[in-house]
Amino acid sequence: MSPSALERLGELGALVRSALGRLSSLLGDAPGNEDASSLAARARDLADDINVVLTADPAYVNYVEARGRGISLRAAPIEVSRIVKTAIVGDRAATVLTSATLAVEGQFEYVKTRLGLEDAEAVQLPSEFDFTRQAVLYLPAEMPDPRSPEFNRAAAWVISELLDRTRGRAFALFTSYAAMRDVHAIIAPRVSWPLFVQGTAPRTSLLRDFRNTPNAVLLATASFWQGVDVAGEALSCVIIDRLPFASPADPLVSARIKVIADRGGQPFHEYQVPLATLTLLQGLGRLIRTKTDRGVLAILDPRLTRMPYGRRFLGSLP
């Protein structure tokens, strides 16, 4: 969002903040009423949020986000290290951070730098899963460049073949809605397995229907790359169309790239590749959820084997 846009919104924002302040005072004059106290606190929080969103703080990226018929004003910190140190680490004697996706190529430099915890001790523990026995990694040998117009059609044919071999029971995860729609249009007449597509029903409904439908296939995008747990044979194949690089057109991604470049760093290798690697690991992590799960991990992006940085992705896989 440009400074001139912030200035134009500033006057309206001041009016809203003033109204919220009066509302908070009125509600605060009702002692003993927990509902009123809660609403007063909420009004104060909204006033603070408006102040952050409409202030040109160089530590934040201010932008407008449109989703469907809704428009949101947002402010996101370019660097989260100060917030992590203040709100999470603070003056505690010790803080333990754990996740299955913190290391890139067995190293923690990326996440430690992003969180401002360069001096933290790190340890990588072996997985409880036997990936050699439980999973197969499939990389198609002949795929066009993922940036070419032919890629989605080629991906659709490979996905159709995989679904025939796994008898459905798959997630096909995409890096964009456009790619998901293209592939769905091609495979829908070809495959005989039940197809569920993100956007046609709420997320919880899609997951419920997937679990309850034999041989089902779910086509989805970013929100299904993490926080989804489907154990057992119902999910026996996870297919990822492209390496999940964050779009440089995203205001926050663009700002972080600029900060690294301004200090003489290499944004692609220091930020974009590690972030995409951790996102890829989260997507692939949907497959093996228990010690008895097994299945196929398929990544259709040929850059894994054709580009030098592909080795960094492969080196991070279990």
The mean of the pLDDT values for the chain is: 89
Say yes or no: 136 and 243 in one domain: yes
For residues 94 and 183, membership in a common domain is answered with no
Encode pLDDT of 26-68 as tens digits.
887 666 678 888 888 888 889 888 888 888 788 888 888 887 7
Based on the domain organization, do 149 and 238 belong to the same domain? yes
- Render pLDDT for 232-246 as a digit per residue (tens, 0 to 9): 888 899 999 999 999
CB 124 within 8 A of CB 103: yes
- Indicate whether 231 belongs to any domain: yes
Tell me the pLDDT tens digit for each residue of 179-194: 999 999 999 999 999 9
**Is position 125 within any domain?**
no
CB atoms within 10 A of CB 291: 11
Domain with 109 in it: 81-115
Q: Are residues 192 and 296 in the same domain?
A: yes
User: Quick one: pLDDT band at residue 5, thresholds 50, 70, 90?
Assistant: confident
Domain end residue (candidates: 90, 115, 140): 115
Q: What is the pTM of this model?
A: 0.83
**248 lies in the same domain as 193:** yes
pLDDT at 263 over 70: yes
Q: Is residue 123 part of a domain?
A: no
pLDDT at 286: 85
Q: Where does the pLDDT of residue 9 fall: very low under 50, low under 70, confident under 90, or very high at 90 and above?
A: confident
> What span, in angstroms and rounded, lies between the C-alpha atoms of 88 and 49?
20
Do 73 and 87 belong to one domain?
A: no
Q: How confident is the model at residue 139 (pLDDT cuts 50, 70, 90)?
A: very high
Which pLDDT does position 30 carry in this prediction?
A: 67
Domain assignment present for residue 286? The answer is yes
Number of domains in the chain: 3
Weakest mean pLDDT among 32-36, 56-60, 288-292, 293-297: 32-36
Question: Tens digits of per-residue pLDDT, 246-260?
Answer: 988 899 999 999 999
**Which position has the higher pLDDT, 150 or 224?**
150
Q: Is residue 248 part of a domain?
A: yes
Q: Is residue 230 domain-shared with residue 164, that is, in the same domain?
A: yes
Checking if the pLDDT of 112 tops 70, the result is yes
The reply to whether 214 falls in a domain is: yes
Residues 278 and 135 in one domain: yes
Q: Is there a single domain that holds both residue 72 and residue 87?
A: no
Spatial CB neighbours of 33, under 8 Å, sequence gap ≥ 6: none
Instruction: Out of 53-62, 122-131, 204-213, pick the least confident.
Output: 53-62
What's the CA gap between 8 and 4, in Å, rounded?
6
Residue 120 belongs to some domain of the structure: no
Percent of the chain clearing pLDDT 70 (strictly above): 98
The single-letter code of the amino acid at 313 is F
Radius of gyration in angstroms for the set of CA atoms belonging to the chain, rounded to a whole number: 23
Claim to verify: residue 302 and residue 236 sit in the same structural domain: yes
For residue 290, is it within any domain? yes
User: What would the mean pLDDT of 126-145 be, rounded to a whole number?
Assistant: 92
Query: Is 90 or 196 the better-scoring residue by pLDDT?
Result: 196
Give the pLDDT of residue 264: 95
pLDDT at res. 29: 67
Are both 34 and 110 inside the same structural domain? Answer: no
At 222 the pLDDT is 81
Q: Are residues 144 and 210 in the same domain?
A: yes
Q: What pLDDT, on a 0 to 100 scale, did the predictor assign at position 205?
A: 93
3-28 vs 34-53: helix crossing angle, rounded to 10: 170
CATH number for the domain harbouring residue 310? 3.40.50.300
Which of 310, 318, 196 has the alpha carbon at shortest distance from 242?
A: 310
